[in-house]
Amino acid sequence: MAICLREKSAKISPFRAKYPEWWLILIDRISHARIHGAEVTELRNLLHGLADWDRVFFHLQRFLVEETDFYGAPFPTEIHPSARIYPRAWVAERNVRIGPNTTVEANVTVGERSWIGARVYIRAGAVLGSEGFQSVRYPGGILQMAHGGGLRVEDGVELFANAMIARAVFRQMTWVGEYSRIGNGAFVSHNVQLGKRCFVGHNSTVNGNTTVGDDTWIGPNATISSLLTIGPRSRISLGAVVMRSLPAEAHVTGMPAADHRRMLRHAASIR
């Protein structure tokens, strides 16, 4: 038995390092016998002939999101009686919670796995809980990563017209902290952690897996790259492109973003 375990561990370790979620899937769904006979047959049919592990992973992720309860058992949507939902808004029939005194205007879309707190105001055309852009090319086509995570919008948040927030990919939540404001046409991508009282200006973009500290101001048309940490009380000027993490109370300007005063001095030197 010990020899068998060592051999299997050696074979699995490269994939465990590359795909932590793949390892969780194996442990949770196969080792604990949570895949039923029909699911095993469907998995075999789905993955038959796929030699590329990237493709296998993407197909398996979609199967788990769409065909199983790996990311949580479904429940009927719960809307507090005091919430106001305009007739032309669309709220998914399952896996949504909307808290008291929240307003959802016309043409808003609230997708599955969205948790919306109290006194949230969602203006016309906003989209909550959509899939984010995570696609890969392979010979013969393109694959889109299915998103199995969720979205949590805390109390007192206001989303302006046509703002968009994606749900997380795996078991995390995209998070919008209390009293934050997300402007017209802004996009907050999957698994972003937006702190309390943040301002995300019109048409700005916060890319995936970035953490933004409390009381940060992100100007209109600013872009923040993925996998960054923006310290609390930072200020990102309009149109700035942030490509590295920032400490607390940073103030950056330009493309690529640099310290605000240094950028102004540089601009003055080239007039």
Cβ–Cβ under 8 Å, residues 49 and 62 = no
Beta strands (DSSP E) in 60-176 are 78-79, 84-85, 90-91, 96-98, 103-104, 109-110, 114-116, 121-122, 127-130, 135-138, 141-144, 150-153, 158-159, 164-166, 173-176
Contact 220, 214 (CB under 8 A): no
Under DSSP, is residue 108 helix (H, G, I), strand (E, B) or coil? coil
260 is catalytic: no
Give CA–CA dist 10/50, Å, rounded. Answer: 22
Are 175 and 138 spatial neighbours (Cβ–Cβ below 8 Å)?
no
Structure tokens at 120: 């949230």
Catalytic residue among 147, 190, 202, 260: 190
- Angstrom distance (rounded) from CA 177 to CA 157: 7
Write out the catalytic residue numbers: 190
